[in-house]
Structure 1
């Protein structure tokens, strides 16, 4: 077993997409471990607290009229003319990787164990050593067209500080209403419509003393983690799908094991969208978006060895914790294959919790019948009395429902 380090830099991250054609940032073998740094794509909401004097973060976010460190920010084109910027339209998350797994082939399953997660502290002056994150109540949020106070509509950024001195929690520092921001290329962004736009704090009005008596328990996790799909060379990081991606489940944290079906040779694992805390649904559009470093272990399960195991026939992401198994249902289980040529933009027109619930039910039923050898009638009875279904997220176009079965229901005295 080898232990690798994958720091953030313009050469080790890709912004807004999963890809089977990007040169791997790291190649390892089954059983190897890696410490992987990740950055939040919302760090420029407060440059001083989350980027300044941090060499890794500064190298990725560097953007002047003369030089843009990461030109492609999305699964779209890199040749203009652009309205918002290169790669515009689909994909926003900063992802570290890809990590290639030696010997991984389509039909295999990659197990990713999250051994530990640590916040990335600020390195700027009086904030040094403290950890910060941003929550954006944004235009893609479930709430956006259902506001009751003026001005309507509006997008609001809330900056949180993460306290890790004991049981970790997050506390709000201030918030502000998004105002039109002009990026270094001279493009005006009236809304949060392009990742990594620097916010000029002379153009916003900070509101302090907000959420004064609230401490949000921290749930450090990675909102976006998974493998490269086979259907396209560049796939938006926003909608989750059969190889994982932007699942946005706070349970994918320390101690979790995620299983992903391998779709391309090498698997091409990427991770990002780090979160300090999030509730089920991620209703406003984001979690507390922060920067985290994770310790991971990678185990490759070959397709010929899957029979008779919980991974037999697995065609979708699967979560295992000490207490439970969870499956993830989506509006479309594989929207890339089901919606055709324009799938990456078309999926936003089909968001449905009904369909996601149906998919989660079918996946958990299959799990119970295949892994625990229940009849369909037994599985349905257990699903009704012993399984928990919840709304994972309603903000990622391909909406999600998780179905969870606790392991202790199978223990008999």
Structure 2
């Protein structure tokens, strides 16, 4: 006998009914209250999206909803249970939850509320998942807020920011200590920016952050080792790590003394850790399959920090094209998978095969020697910084400001590689820029570099704050 469903066309809430319901074919939705809960037959169910594990009102703020959190802790209650072998659509907020505007000022980047990130959807329990298992998550689709144009990132636009030194800084914080911003407009799968003219590229859309909750013991390990690091230089700007911070903590449905305890213990979501977390892997896109270690009963899966595009390294810190949107996932479990496959920490994944395919590149290299000429021993991070700086210097010869070039390298799908890590004392890193993203020929030639009109340029915060 066929299964029918009541489904809300406004928020996505659904309820299966079997056999054919005799209830009215349209009724108020018990979740969002809109008179948009309709009865669908099997014939038209195939035109609908996957069941929404959680639909989020994009106009609401994080503090007004219990569906999100911005800390890692095993005691944050799950907001729903996902069934093994089922697919779901999960709506995600932009990582600053609306603090960044579609305008020509970078003051919002300068003043970005770092204590509030990330606005994560979840946590979700997965039925049958227990410590020692591997959680399988397939990314079926991911994208900006569907069919919406508006004031929130993801509603037809996104942004890239260079973070100010006092607010976390960037990969090149010593050379770029001030706040800058570029806004990108989406058209289909491509994007352009009024702040960086002369480029257009297809986004490799992906979640910057996805992961499972830590156990109590693992959380203590995180806090101890990061606290020890902070203690080596406690007054450093930007800091060496971010300790637990109750201010602006969002912990789902927790309240009272439970909230206060968890807020004082919970880990910040900024860095990647053994649970996955904020890995910012640009190839973690549609078609990817990831295997997460499970540390608590149910797994407590969370996700967010969606990017329309990103270059390898997310080098400006706010370096992808940040947006809100949706992610469709399928979940399953490998029992005892952590021991079976030796995945005791850090997820493994199979990247998707979607996204733009570029065939022509311009590559820049760097070695582990500082700008002051100091020799470092096999410092691959320094090598990558030098490769990026060489690319920025090159692009500035075409008329871009160095800040425009830096923002572009953070947003466009550049390839970063550690090319040599054994030839003492210099490691070598390379960065590959796809030449097809430019509206002009960016290759060296006897005629010299084409001169673009840089337009209004990338907005800079005039007051360092």
Q: Tell me the TM-score normalized by structure 2.
A: 0.48
Aligned to 1:172: 193
Residues 1:289 and 2:322 are matched in the alignment:
yes
Provide structure 2 residue ranges, at least 5 long, that are not aligned to the other structure: 1-15, 17-49, 58-63, 105-110, 220-261, 354-378, 385-414, 419-428, 430-465
Of 254, 264, 288, the residue aligned with 1:256 is: 288
Task: Please give the residue correspondences for 1:77-156 in structure 2 after superposition, counting only pairs within 5 Å.
Answer: 92-121=117-146, 123=148, 131-139=156-164, 140-147=169-176, 153-156=177-180
Provide structure 1 residue ranges, at least 5 long, that are not aligned to the other structure: 50-83, 148-152, 174-209, 324-351, 358-387, 392-400, 402-413
Task: Please give the residue correspondences for 1:13-412 in structure 2 after superposition, counting only pairs within 5 Å.
Answer: 13-42=67-96, 43-46=98-101, 92-121=117-146, 123=148, 131-139=156-164, 140-147=169-176, 153-164=177-188, 168-173=189-194, 210-230=195-215, 231-232=218-219, 234-286=266-318, 287-303=320-336, 307=340, 311-321=341-351, 390=417
d(CA) in 1 for partners of 2:280, 2:152: 28
Q: Deviations for 1:3-52, whole angstroms, at most 9, x for unmatched residues?
A: 44311254354343223211211112211221000111243211699xxx
Of 37, 55, 62, the residue aligned with 1:7 is: 55
Q: Name the Cα RMSD after superposition.
A: 3.6
Deviation at 1:158, TM superposition (A): 1.2
Deviation at 1:266, TM superposition (A): 1.1
d(CA) in 2 for partners of 1:104, 1:20: 14
d(CA) in 2 for partners of 1:277, 1:304: 32
Q: Deviations for 1:69-123, whole angstroms, at most 9, x for unmatched residues?
A: xxxxxxxxxxxxxxx99xx875611100000012211111001000011211574
d(CA) in 2 for partners of 1:354, 1:124: 39
Q: Tell me the TM-score normalized by structure 1.
A: 0.54
Asked if the contact 1:122–1:132 (Cα under 8 Å) also holds between the matched residues in 2, the reply is no
d(CA) in 1 for partners of 2:314, 2:154: 28
Asked if the contact 2:136–2:292 (Cα under 8 Å) also holds between the matched residues in 1, the reply is yes
Q: Runs of 4 or more off by more than 6 Å in structure 1? A: 125-129
Asked if the contact 2:153–2:324 (Cα under 8 Å) also holds between the matched residues in 1, the reply is no
d(CA) in 1 for partners of 2:208, 2:180: 20
d(CA) in 1 for partners of 2:294, 2:284: 19
d(CA) in 2 for partners of 1:16, 1:281: 22
d(CA) in 2 for partners of 1:24, 1:127: 26
Q: Deviations for 1:112-145, whole angstroms, at most 9, x for unmatched residues?
A: 0000112115745799996111111113211221
Deviation at 1:242, TM superposition (A): 0.8
d(CA) in 1 for partners of 2:381, 2:148: 45
d(CA) in 1 for partners of 2:146, 2:120: 19
Greater CA radius of gyration, 1 or 2?
2
Q: Deviations for 1:295-345, whole angstroms, at most 9, x for unmatched residues?
A: 1000111107963xxx3444321011367xxxxxxxxxxxxxxxxxxxxxx
Secondary structure at the residue paired with 1:294? strand
d(CA) in 2 for partners of 1:125, 1:101: 34
d(CA) in 2 for partners of 1:141, 1:306: 37
